[in-house]
Structure 1
Amino acid sequence: MNAIRQSCLIALLPFAMLVSSVQAEGMSIADTVYKIPLAEDVSMDEAVDSMLLRANTLNFKMVSHLPLYQELESMGVETRRIEIFQFCDARIAHEMLQENIDFSAYLPCRITLIEDDDGQAWLTTLDLNQVIGMAGLPASLMDRAISVRDTIEEIMTAGATGDL
């Protein structure tokens, strides 16, 4: 369990750094997040199945899955469902890292399935427009970054609509 907690903390470090930077610029944490609600007729399990299928179709590998709610429940913490999925296209990741190792803080792409206090399920991720806008990428990598953003958003849309 200690390794899982450590993994969670390490995974959150890039976001903590982004939040402190964003707050200095007068933005809120919500300004850095892209999120969409699940349709009323889509269960959370259906959303997961749809995301995994769409990621596979788009050649984005799921490299990690953390059912955080299960870890919390095993510790006696009452919680709503929270699952973190991490996806990656290794070739694009390699290109980005060749350009600038700072991109390592944003790898792999993360999508969280989370239920709010009202029972509404959401899919959330880092708003890649924020990162892309400040990255200063050459045109060839800018196209790749936009492709990653579009792919993550397509995976999320498939999940939110239950589109298999």
Structure 2
Amino acid sequence: MRVIWNVLAIIGLLAVIAVGYAIYVLQPYAGGARALDSQATTVYARMARTVLETGDMAEATVYKRKVEEGLDVGEVEDTLRMVANELNIANVGEMPMSEEVRNVTGEDFPFLKIYMFCDARIAAQMVRHSQAMAAYLPCRIVLQEDEQGQLWLMTLNLDPMIHGGRPLPEELYEQALFVQESLETIIDRAARGEF
């Protein structure tokens, strides 16, 4: 009985040491964690769950929709452009990646095109707030064909940018939400062919 008591005492002591060490190591970050946006833990938990389910970090960072059967590339592209124009999001470029891959390699490649959209005023405010936000510019939407010939639309999930750090200033927060909602609206409507 005394041996069991001693083993339990050692386990308890090791647990106290481990907790003390964790507090010591994490203490410098506690203030920073408390300063994060109230939705940060939800955003990162959702991303972690996706990574654990898929094993793919990129999958955890995108918003995507399957294009409805029967819609072709031209219809999806027309809808993308029309909805972006309706929302006053400028189309600042298109990159036909599958054509480029075919030209460079001489091999066939499934359809892949990147559409770039931007609102220069919002972009300027984002970069003034954080230079790192320039890496998110311009906002991109991808139209991609998978191995089965199914078309998909996707863009970066902006939740980590909007909610992943300290709360954004109110005006920038509203504008970032507008951009996020606009990109999702463009994708959702284009996936349905809804002009």
Residue identity in the other structure for 2:100: E
Aligned twin of 1:103 = 133
- For the pair 1:140 / 2:167, whether they are aligned, the reply is no
Which structure has the larger Rg?
2
SS at match of 2:164: helix
Per the alignment, residue 113 of structure 1 pairs with 143
What is the DSSP-based 3-state SS (H/G/I as helix, E as strand, rest coil) of the residue aligned with 1:42? coil
Match of 1:94 in 2: 124
1:54 aligns with 2:83: yes
* Structure 2 spans left out of the alignment, 5+ residues: 1-43, 52-56
Identical positions, percent: 36
The residue type equivalent to 1:43 in the other structure is D
Instruction: Tell me the number of residue pairs that the alignment of Structure 1 and Structure 2 aligns.
Output: 141
Aligned to 2:34: none
Calculate the TM-score normalised by the size of structure 2. 0.69
Residue deviations 1:98-125, cap 9 Å, x none? Answer: 1111110101100000000011100011
What is the distance in 2 between the residues matched to 1:57 and 1:34? 21
Residue of 93, 99, 102 corresponding to 1:64:
93
| Of 25-34 and 111-120, the range deviating more from structure 2 | 25-34
Distance in 2 of aligned mates of 1:157 and 1:29 = 20
Corresponding residue of 1:11: none
Give TM-score scaled by structure 1 length. Answer: 0.81
| Cα deviation code 1:19-72 (max 9, x no counterpart) | xxx9xx954221111110101121121000000011011110011100111111
Query: RMSD of aligned C-alpha atoms?
Result: 1.5
Report deviation, 1:77: 2.3
| CA distance, structure 2, for counterparts of residue 110 and residue 103 of structure 1 | 14
Unpaired segments ≥5 residues, structure 1: 1-21
Partner Cα distance (2:92, 2:192) in 1? 23
SS at match of 1:69: helix
Structure 2: distance between partners of 1:127 and 1:77: 31
Residue matched to 1:154: 185
Is 1:36–2:94 an aligned residue pair? Answer: no
Report the CA distance between 1:135 and its aligned residue: 4.1
The Cα offsets for residues 132-153 of structure 1, whole Å up to 9 and x where unpaired, read as 1224311221111111000001
